[in-house]
């Protein structure tokens, strides 16, 4: 069953702690993305990766870190430096390149992080 | 990156056709137009994508005029389950970075 999985669905952390959100895909996609969504708002790009061992900052990377050691996995760490970490976090993946643009981003179910 | 503008919200009734228009005046030659649907507490879901003229699939149609500065998502005979936020995006997969920008979207409320 192909798709993107994110875990956990709900996550609580104390202020000052780092926390890592998991994202795994078995779609054989090259690119993976992390977005943040606040209530009533659109999605904002945190980080993205087009290839293993390489990633780029998005619009709101401060206070976050990522790694891409495997094609299937793109974990996001929310560090204590992130001022307002409570949000809904979405991971996505897509194919890249080719003669025809087919950049459909497939999204995971999301992780809702609450900082207590 | 091309910026998009869409209405913040729309109301409709079951069985009606809904048209949501998106403006993208700065669309580039290589950009495609993509629409996503998002339900509360879920990830967005791809609806339809097009480059010019008209595209139709099993859930929606996408109308794109010749100048490509706008596009209209058409949902035929909506039902209550179509209540969601709809995002219009423009982007080029071959552009380094592939940074699609999700705006605030259009909140569609379908009433009985």
Q: Which of A42, A44, A108 sits opposite B87 (nearest CB)?
A: A42
> Which pLDDT tens digit goes with each residue over B66-109?
999 999 999 999 999 999 999 998 876 554 445 567 778 999 99
> What are the 10-residue block averages of pLDDT along chain A, 116 residues in total?
86 92 94 92 90 91 96 96 93 70 78 94
Q: Which of B43, B46, B99 sits opposite A45 (nearest CB)?
A: B99
Task: Please give the span between the terminal C-alpha atoms of chain B, in angstroms, as a whole number.
Answer: 39
- Residue holding tokens 């990156």? B1
Question: Is A7 near chain B, with CB under 8 Å?
Answer: no
Measured in residues, chain A has a length of: 116
Task: Count how many pairs of residues, chain A against chain B, have C-beta atoms within 8 Å.
Answer: 69
The DSSP result for A35-71, as a single string, is: EEE-TT--EEEEEEEEETTEEEE-TT-TTEEE--SBT
| Phi, psi values for residue B80, rounded to 5° | -55, -30
Nearest-angstrom CA–CA distance, A45 and A50: 14
Asked if A106 lies within 8 A of B46 by C-beta distance, the reply is: yes
Measured CA to CA in angstroms, residue A86 lies from A11, A37, B38 at distances of 10, 10, 20
Q: Which of A45, A48, A97 sits opposite B93 (nearest CB)?
A: A97
């Amino acid at each position: 069953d192909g798709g993107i999985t994110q875990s956990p669905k709900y996550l609580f952390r104390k202020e000052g702690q780092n926390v890592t959100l998991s994202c795994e895909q078995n779609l054989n996609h090259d690119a993976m993305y992390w977005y943040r969504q606040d209530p009533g708002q659109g999605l904002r790009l945190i980080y993205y990766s087009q290839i293993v061992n390489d990633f780029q900052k998005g619009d709101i990377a401060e206070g976050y870190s990522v790694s891409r050691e495997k094609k299937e996995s793109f974990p996001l760490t929310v560090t204590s430096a992130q001022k307002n970490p409570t949000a809904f976090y979405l991971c996505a993946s897509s194919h890249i390149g080719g003669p025809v643009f087919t950049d459909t981003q497939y999204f995971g179910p999301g992780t809702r992080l609450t900082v207590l | 990156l091309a910026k998009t503008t869409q209405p913040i919200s729309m109301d409709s009734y079951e069985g009606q056709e809904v048209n949501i228009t998106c403006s993208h005046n700065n669309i580039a030659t290589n950009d495609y137009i993509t629409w996503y649907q998002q339900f509360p507490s879920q990830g967005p879901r791809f609806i339809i994508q097009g480059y010019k003229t008209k595209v139709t699939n099993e859930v929606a149609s996408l109308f794109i005029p010749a100048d490509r500065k706008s596009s209209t998502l058409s949902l035929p005979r909506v039902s209550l389950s179509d209540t969601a936020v709809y995002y219009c995006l423009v982007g080029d997969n071959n552009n380094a970075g592939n940074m699609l920008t999700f705006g605030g979207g259009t909140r569609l409320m379908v009433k009985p």
